[in-house]
Chains A and B, each alone.
Chain A
Amino acid sequence: MKFMIGDLPVLFPYDRIYPEQFSYMSDLKATLDAGGHCVLEMPSGTGKTVSLLSLIVSYMQFYPTKRKLIYCSRTVPEIEKALAELKRLMEYREEMGAKDEEFRGLGLTSRKNLCLHPEVSKEKKGKVVDSRCRDLTSAFACEKGRANPGSVPLCDYHENLNNYEPGNLIPPGVYTLDDVKKYGQEKGVCPYFTIRRMMPYLDIVIFSFHYLLDPKVAENVSAEMSKESIIVFDEAHNIDNVCIESLSVDLTRPMLDSAARSVNKIGDKIEELKRTDAEKLQNEYEKLVAGLQEANEHREDEDMLTAPVPSAKLSEDMVDEAVPGNIRKAEHFVAFLKRFIEYLKTRMRVLHVVAETPQSFLAHLKEITYIERRPLKFSAERLTSLVRTLELTNIDEHYALQQVVGFGTLVASYEKGFMLILEPYETEHATVPNPIFHMVCLDPSLAISPVFERFSSVIITSGTISPLDMYPKMLQFQPVMEVSYPMTLQRNAFFPMVITRGSDQVPISSRFEVRNDPAVVRNFGSILIEMSRVVPDGIVAFFPSYLYMESIVSAWYDMGILSEVWKHKLLFVETPDAMETSIALKNYREACNNGRGAVMLSVARGKVSEGIDFDHNYGRAVIIIPYQYTESRILKARLEFLRDNYRVRENDYLTFDAMRHAAQCVGRVLRGKTDWGLMVFADKRFARQDKRSKLPKWINQYIIEAHSNMSTDMAVSLAKKFIRQISQPFDHTQTGISLWTLEDIEDRQRKDREEADRALRALGPGAIQAQAAEGMQLDREIDGDAFAPVEDDMDYGDDIDDEALVRAAELHGMEVESG
């Protein structure tokens, strides 16, 4: 269908539209017009991606300024889904006669997913693929190979790329990852490098968060994006954690050992090179003296070895600074690294927990080893340059060294927002020390601030991103729009309830102090038994942590609760092992399909809770035993930081974090408007309004007071009733109520306009004049555009009527369903 939002004609690839989608698109447009950032929450399964894409594509194509869309999603399947949706949209646009000839949309993912090389592609680990690929495609290898064919193995797929004209490696259009692979296979070119080299020419890029947020990668991939680009972070409810992870480094003892070995190897290599080709080292030295940055030369080849610090931060210091003298010579640098690693090793021998700021770490470092801050800061860059000079292959061997150097650079670069924590024991009760040195980033805004600074419009959206005001606070930006949309449903397709007491009236809580109390454990068990008796097909239960799940499951086994559940459903358990979990999931699905029914016990924040959908019969009920946090030092440090710097109270943050995970878990079972499911919150703390209000609006609107404080037996009989009711045959045509046709949209727009008029009239005649003038101006601006047939004499209020649409259609020879 085609409709107008303001002056923008939007092509939407379906005949009907959900009301949420319409308001989502309207708000999106307002944000883009204003050129600011926004936070939007829209329930899962209501077509967020397609609304986003269709509005933004229409926007890009309608207005003359060439804007680029960078769409970031979380996982490869999601990227793939978005690409498929985009492809469909573009096909539809073509059908409708929109002119998008030179339109390109591609997705980017890791080499591992795209590689075509007969041997390399068989490698299982992403890192190995990366490094082997790099060996075959790096600049010096290519040079050598071309000069002297056969001397160095090269990748044919990569070489073949040179036969094509740089800006036109792939014909215009939208390609899914599979399409690109197929294309690469046909033409014998490398899909990964095709995409990488096409980046500057693309209109839409779809890739994962890390390509923008992780400074190690962002530098290379996203540097050439123009300022006008529209950035979208989809499924962004965890964006702060992604930011933090991308700036945090963990070091362990084995890593240090491995790094030490790497340094020795590099040292040997330098010795060797000295004997054979001393001139080369001298050249490098000269260059460094001159302060030349050769970073720009072969950008794409070395994305693993750049400094893990946002470029903005680095460049401001580096503009007038060169690599300091004491690490310019290769052998000096090696000695420097050795010292640094030895220092870290001694630190790790400590058997008590240490938490300190980067400053105190640096001071101590200087005292013991005379390593200063400045050389440390440049160590990452120095290593990159050294690796290039030495023409090292098999870079993944030096992974540990990279981490160590990255650690050093981070410590030296940031004074605030970081914390060093040394944990000698893995768990509280462990006796064998296994020290981990965490360099923890506490401030998520550090990683994302370059994005906000560089790009004019950043859109953060997800199905569960409440409370909305938390994100701007944590990420330090000013949104022009923060909206959470309710979900319009023709019938109450999901049924949230809060169970606060067991049938024996003992309060249910997963609070740390009481959660191992047998009565509480039994009550959780009885909820599971009752629910498995009542709910057909699949049930998903979420626990706060693996540890707690293990303890509770073994307690249940002793109490005979598991054997009760077995009568009705099979039991599957998520484990930290991805392989095991995926087998469990496969069998779980089969059990749901065969009518046996199954319960999946999984962990909130685990793999299952984040990425896997339990739609329809795979999840008819979700039970959440949530709301608990480990007493980890990292979390404590983070809480303190948030309190001191952003005035976010500890409890607020904890509630927020717990609630967003609860919402995320709950959202797993409801994946669209035809789906239905029960949501059981088993914790008495959910009965409190202040906690519940932090849940997304679309969930909250269905929690009624009567269902927010129930005992198990009440909940079960209500659940029974609900399931029977929802199982009744139902007419799924939702037209008019939760599905709009073109007329419905126009109707709504007319109403909105009347509303606005009335408001204006109330303001007085002056306001109307101002508005009219504004409208005229708008018209004139649009006139120049080929796609805007809005006539001069048309006044502002009428630009959405049918006539205009029809005229537009006639002009461009397309069909519009009018009336």
Chain B
Amino acid sequence: MAVDEDYAPEADDINIDDDEDDIDRPGPSRQRKGKGRANGQTGGDGMQTWEGAYTRSWDVIQEDDEEGGLQSTVEKLLARGRRKRAMAGEGPIRRSIIRHMFIILDLSESMRDKDFRPTRWEVTLQYLRGYIGEWFDQNPLGQIGIVLMRDRLSETLIPMGGNPQEILAALADKRKLEPSGEPSLQNGLTMAKGGMGHLPVTSSLEILVIFSSISTADPDGPTSIQQTMKDLVQSRVRTTIISLSGEIKICKQISERTGGKFGVAMDEDHLRELLWETIPPPAQTIAAPLTVGVRNALAAGGVGTGAGGRNKPAPAGDLMVMGFPVRLPLGGETMCVCHGILKKGGYLCPRCGSKLCDVPTDCEVCGLMVVSSPHLARSFWFLFPVAEYGVTPADTVQEDHTSRRLEPTCFGCDDPFPLLDEIAVSAGVNQVDEAVSPTGRYRCAKCKNDFCVNCDIYVHHTLHTCPGCAQ
């Protein structure tokens, strides 16, 4: 259970900001997070005082009453998380679960800046590793590639692929990732877009740029970055840019035009929050006429290139071609089509029978999307989100109490709820936000069970299923 024990105000006053973000963050990252922070701090200890930024630590804490309590501040933060989730809405959204994303990483000199501890570079790499794991956890059908920008050039660190291990291995070698020179956003985007050129239009194409520099040094060629932006819009590449330094007009413009998001990281934790926000599959904004191509291809019994049939509008509930591969025994080495090297094990494409190293992937030969069924199943939680738990007001509790239907403990963790008379005392005094329950109870509308605030977060962020309803 992801309870934040260190939430008590006396534990760590100054880090109250960090704690805030824990709540907003999706659950599974929690274990890794602790480690991440520890690392960050040991790195920070290695720094000399004069290298630090000019900070005014007293500005960070917000005290709410004359005794200097932080309770209401904490509650405010809690409420913010809940409100955010409520705003996300539960209406049916069409999401693209087959995602192809290029991460463009700025490795310019500015990454050595020490305003994120220990450096922007360390922080970004570290978060990125966590991000990759988390991303594949939630998007098992997706693929990621990484492009680096430094010295005004762009290079592909790793092409589009669905294997998190390979990507993590590529990110592990820090010597290859030394920052230098200036970045060229245009080159990076062009390369990423080029790397996605072969992909079927059925999938959602995305670019995530982590941009640390304050400017981009683009080539003085016939095409400007404006043209690149137009290309991206045309080929519907959703571009999300996270800047580590400030609002840059062109970045904002690119993200807005391509339907992505633009964010500026305030500090390490905010950067993490921004990154993690891109993990859930994006809503499909364009009524995709794309899958029509697949239907036609299916009807023709041929290859799903998705090239034809752009003129018909998409009917609701489209189909697409996928294949479930045969897993090869770990016997002798055979040649794979994806890398062209001898390897043990692997999968056979169900349509053309060529050997693939990993799933999910697109078959190199026939272009069929090859997935395994657990991957598909894991992508489903978005389709059936857990309904938001409602805030239980004091009078409802009172009513239930009189009718003797009131549970004294949380349905999830069996922690006792505050007693009624305690509530009566604190009611009206500490009421911070309407998103926070005055009674500490959050009730599932379906099964009518009460949960505590921590279970509420856990259920919605990690479990994705209501234990009460499941019974």
Binding site for B on A (CB under 8 A): 532-537, 567-569, 592-597, 616-617, 620, 713-714, 717-718, 720, 723-729
Contacts and interface: CB of A to CB of B under 8 A. Distances in A.
Contacts of A533: 110, 214
B244 to A, nearest CB: 9
Given A594-B224, A717-B53, A727-B247, A568 B266 contact: no
Interface stretch (B29-37, B215-223, B391-399, B415-423): B215-223
Contact of A724 (B215, B217, B245): B245
Contacts of B245: 534, 536, 720, 723-724
B54 A717 contact: yes
A537 B264 contact: no
Contacts, number: 83
B246 A723 contact: yes
A568 B265 contact: no
A325 B17 CA distance: 91
Nearest to A713: B54
Contacts of B243: 727
Contacts of A726: 247
17 contacts: A568-B215, A594-B224, A594-B225, A594-B226, A595-B185, A595-B250, A596-B217, A597-B214, A597-B215, A720-B245, A723-B264, A724-B245, A724-B246, A724-B264, A724-B265, A726-B247, A727-B247
B182 interface: yes
A569 B215 contact: yes
Given A594-B224, A597-B214, A725-B266, A534 B54 contact: no
B251 A595 contact: yes
> Which of A593, A616, A718 neighbours the largest number of chain B CB atoms within 10 Å of its CB?
A593
Size bracket of the B interface: 20 to 34
B249 interface: yes
B358 interface: no
A595 B216 contact: yes
B248 interface: yes
Nearest to B250: A595
A617 B251 CA distance: 12
Interface of B: 53-55, 109-110, 115, 182, 185, 213-218, 224-226, 243, 245-251, 263-266
Nearest to B267: A724
Nearest to B53: A717
A594 B53 contact: no
A596 B217 CA distance: 6
Contact of B214 (A534, A617, A729): A534
Contacts of A727: 243, 246-247, 264
B121 to A, nearest CB: 16
> Which of B185, B246, B248, B251 neighbours the largest number of chain A CB atoms within 10 Å of its CB?
B246
A728 B264 CA distance: 6
> Which of B185, B215, B216, B265 neighbours the largest number of chain A CB atoms within 10 Å of its CB?
B215
Nearest to A533: B214
A579 to B, nearest CB: 23
Given A597-B215, A617-B249, 7 more contacts: A534-B214, A537-B248, A593-B249, A595-B216, A596-B217, A617-B248, A724-B264
Nearest to A596: B215
A717 B52 CA distance: 10
Given A567-B182, A727-B264, A728-B264, A595 B246 contact: no
A536 B216 CA distance: 10
A713 B55 CA distance: 11
Given A567-B182, A594-B226, A594-B250, A720 B214 contact: no
A474 B251 CA distance: 49
Contacts of B216: 594-596
Contact of B249 (A569, A595, A723, A728): A595
Contacts of B263: 729
Given A595-B185, A595-B225, A723 B247 contact: yes
B224 A720 contact: no
B215 A728 contact: no
A592 B247 CA distance: 12
Contact of A536 (B115, B182, B224, B246): B246
Nearest to B115: A720
Contacts of B264: 723-724, 727-728
A593 B115 CA distance: 26
A529 B467 CA distance: 58
Contacts of B182: 567
Contacts of B109: 567
A537 B266 contact: no
Given A714-B54, A724-B264, A535 B246 contact: yes
Sorted from nearest, which 7 A-B pairs have the closest CB atoms?
A: A595-B250, A727-B247, A617-B249, A597-B215, A727-B264, A723-B246, A717-B54
A14 to B, nearest CB: 25
A672 to B, nearest CB: 16
A695 B133 CA distance: 55
Contacts of A728: 264, 266
B340 to A, nearest CB: 39
Contacts of A567: 109, 182
B227 to A, nearest CB: 11
Contacts of A713: 54
Nearest to B264: A727
Contacts of B250: 593-595
Contacts of B213: 568
A728 B213 CA distance: 17
Contacts of A568: 213-215
Contacts of A597: 214-215, 248
B374 to A, nearest CB: 37
A519 B266 CA distance: 34
A365 B17 CA distance: 81
Contacts of A537: 215, 248-249
A595 B115 contact: no
A17 B89 CA distance: 33
Nearest to A710: B54
A784 to B, nearest CB: 56
A596 B214 contact: no
B214 A535 contact: yes
Nearest to A616: B249
B218 A596 contact: yes
> Which of A713, A720, A724, A725 neighbours the largest number of chain B CB atoms within 10 Å of its CB?
A724
A527 to B, nearest CB: 15
A617 B263 CA distance: 16
A592 B253 CA distance: 12
Nearest to A723: B246
Contacts of B110: 533
B78 to A, nearest CB: 20
Contacts of B185: 595
> Which of B182, B226, B243, B250 neighbours the largest number of chain A CB atoms within 10 Å of its CB?
B250
A620 B214 CA distance: 12
> Which of B53, B214, B217 neighbours the largest number of chain A CB atoms within 10 Å of its CB?
B214
B116 to A, nearest CB: 11
Contacts of A714: 54
A569 B213 CA distance: 11
A537 B217 CA distance: 12
Nearest to B248: A536
Contacts of A596: 215-218
A534 B215 CA distance: 10
Contacts of B225: 594-595
Nearest to B214: A536
B17 to A, nearest CB: 13
Nearest to A706: B56
A132 B213 CA distance: 56
A726 B247 CA distance: 8
Nearest to A715: B54
A461 B91 CA distance: 53
Contacts of B248: 536-537, 595, 597, 617
Contacts of B247: 536, 723, 726-727
A620 B264 CA distance: 16
B245 to A, nearest CB: 7
Contacts of A616: 249
B54 A718 contact: yes
